[in-house]
Amino acid sequence: MRKAAILLVILLFMAPAGALCQIPLNLKARLRTTGEEVTFENVRRSRGFLTLQTAPDPVTGKTSDVSQPELRQYELIPGDIESLWQKLLLETRVYDQLLKSGYDYEQRFAMEEMMKDYISTVEQANSFYIDSYLEARLYSILRMVYPVRHTDKRPGILSLRILAEITPDAWVGPDGTMIITTGMITAVNSEAELLALMAQEVAHFALDHHLTRYETSRANGLEPDLGNVIRYTTQQELEADNCAVSVLLSYRMKPSVLASMLKKVLETGELMGSYYLGFTGGYFPDAARRAATFADTVKYFSIDYERLIAPVMSFNAFRAYNQSHYLLCRRLLERNIASGVATTDDMVLLSQAMMNLSGSDTEDEKALSVVRSVTESVSEAPPGAFKQEALLLLRMDRREEAETALLKCIEALDREAQKYSAMPGDWSQMLSYLQSEREWVKRTLRR
């Protein structure tokens, strides 16, 4: 008895930190030879093999063990997204690794601290994009992709934050926080493509790719940081693609949705002159080659989605303009026009982008017609519309028309000043800006 107790203590000390004996399952399967159906309720390691245990027989109360080599005799039948991922994690040997090595709590905690620091930095910079309605829609897609938590009890809760950044990107941090940029939201044209994106990114989280990257960095003598933990190899991207395809198929969606998403990311990169996005070391490694593996290359489009993200497109267009990405700015605003939700500000900004892209009188005329759709049809058009109209007319040496537009600009500035002066609160900065614009118009009139 004493020897057995000593042996047990030795085995406990030899067990890896965070080790576990079994992982719960709720996965149905059918024996290929007889059609008999069973439900696997846990998986453990036994004699060097993964072993799945069936739920007790309703008549006899007995359970059965099925080793990994014997598992090929069964057809696994996921009934929901939770059991689908259990199937995928069995097939990709994630469960095997967990049962061998445990949860590696120390490394996971270190990565979670990295993520906390990142989120804190972004929050301090006010760089998260806040739109409760949009977030609610994105969460509804995210919950279709993966459970809130790993069913195997690994740390991490799947949540979502939107980053105000025009470059398309999305990733899931080691703590389960998905970061998706406003640029990624506007790079695609449908919720189906967002589902494909989320499934692919969440797969990295489910497959423990961040932990593998962390351990690889340490093995190479590097100090792991969040940047190299969440950027994956091409092989890991392909593994995540396969999981995403399984998720898509479970919702009767074609794998080509994933290809459509990748191609649109590359197209956005081209508009920005950012060809690095799809390179091996970019945010979407080897995107073109991965997209080309799908024979069906239909591009997905939803007018409802376009209208949902119209405010994000306006936001990104403004940022793109300020960063001199005029082609991207123009494309985003043209999408708002096509979906029938373009605002007055959208039209003025589009005219500005077109002017900066223009190389001929014909193109200047097109930009002028865009801004005049505001100045000639909107009662009390904003001052910026008249200013933009005047700039185009001066560029085309139509000075009398430009003078008329500048005088209307002064009238509009005066209306704005009166409005803000009558409003409660401190509007001194706005009033100062309006006064500076008024002085600019007067200087321009004197030229």
Instruction: Please give the pLDDT value at position 395.
Output: 96
Instruction: Please give the pLDDT value at position 313.
Output: 98
**Average pLDDT, rounded, for the chain:** 93
Q: How far is CA 322 from the centre of its chain?
A: 23
Instruction: Please give the pLDDT value at position 17.
Output: 46
pLDDT category at 348 given cuts 50, 70, 90 is: very high
The tens digit of pLDDT for each residue in 43-94 reads: 999 888 899 999 998 888 899 999 989 999 999 999 999 999 999 999 999 9
Is 164:174 a contact under the CB 8 Å cutoff? no
pLDDT category at 384 given cuts 50, 70, 90 is: very high
Is 204:232 a contact under the CB 8 Å cutoff? yes
Instruction: Please give the pLDDT value at position 37.
Output: 94
pLDDT category at 298 given cuts 50, 70, 90 is: confident
The count of C-alpha atoms lying within 13 angstroms of the C-alpha of 84, restricted to the half-sphere facing its C-beta, is 19
Instruction: Please give the pLDDT value at position 58.
Output: 86
220 class by beta-carbon count within 10 Å (0-12 exposed, 13-18 middle, 19+ buried): exposed
Nearest to 350 by CA among 364, 365, 331, 325: 331
Instruction: Please give the pLDDT value at position 20.
Output: 63
DSSP labels, 145-201:
HS-SB-TT--S-B-EEEEE--SS--EEE-TTSEEEEEHHHHHH-SSHHHHHHHHHHH
How many C-beta atoms lie closer than 10 Å to residue 175's C-beta? Answer: 22
Tokens 């695609």 found at? 188
Return the CA Rg of the chain: 29
The rounded distance, in Å, linking the Cα atoms of 372 and 118 is: 45
pLDDT category at 2 given cuts 50, 70, 90 is: low
Burial 309-324 (b: 16+ CB within 10 A, else e): bbbbbbbbbbbbbeee
Instruction: Please give the pLDDT value at position 297.
Output: 67
Examine the pLDDT at 33 and tell me if it is beyond 50.
yes
**Entry field: residues in the chain:** 447
Instruction: Please give the pLDDT value at position 264.
Output: 96
Examine the pLDDT at 340 and tell me if it is beyond 90.
yes
Specify the higher pLDDT residue, 68 or 437: 437
The rounded distance, in Å, linking the Cα atoms of 270 and 275 is: 6
Instruction: Please give the pLDDT value at position 156.
Output: 95
Single-letter amino acid, residue 339: S
Examine the pLDDT at 405 and tell me if it is beyond 60.
yes
Instruction: Please give the pLDDT value at position 11.
Output: 38
**Long-range residue pairs from 105-108, CB within 8 A, at least 24 positions apart, any chain:** 105/17, 105/18, 105/155, 106/17, 107/211, 107/214, 107/215, 108/154, 108/155, 108/156, 108/174, 108/211
The two tokens of residue 6 are 């000593």
Helix (H) or strand (E) holding 367: helix 361-375
The two tokens of residue 271 are 């508009």
Instruction: Please give the pLDDT value at position 19.
Output: 53
Instruction: Please give the pLDDT value at position 49.
Output: 86
356 class by beta-carbon count within 10 Å (0-12 exposed, 13-18 middle, 19+ buried): middle
The residues with which 44 forms a beta bridge, in sequence order, are: 22, 51
Q: How far is CA 83 from the centre of its chain?
A: 24
The tens digit of pLDDT for each residue in 117-131 reads: 999 999 999 999 999
Tokens 């500048």 found at? 406
The tens digit of pLDDT for each residue in 134-167 reads: 999 999 999 999 999 999 989 999 999 999 999 9
Q: What's the whole-number mean pLDDT along residues 263-286? A: 93
Distance of CA 288 to CAs 196, 263, 331, Å? 16, 7, 22
Q: Hey, what domains does the chain have and what are their CATH numbers?
A: 16-101 (no CATH), 105-291 (no CATH), 343-446 (1.25.40.10)
DSSP state of 426: -
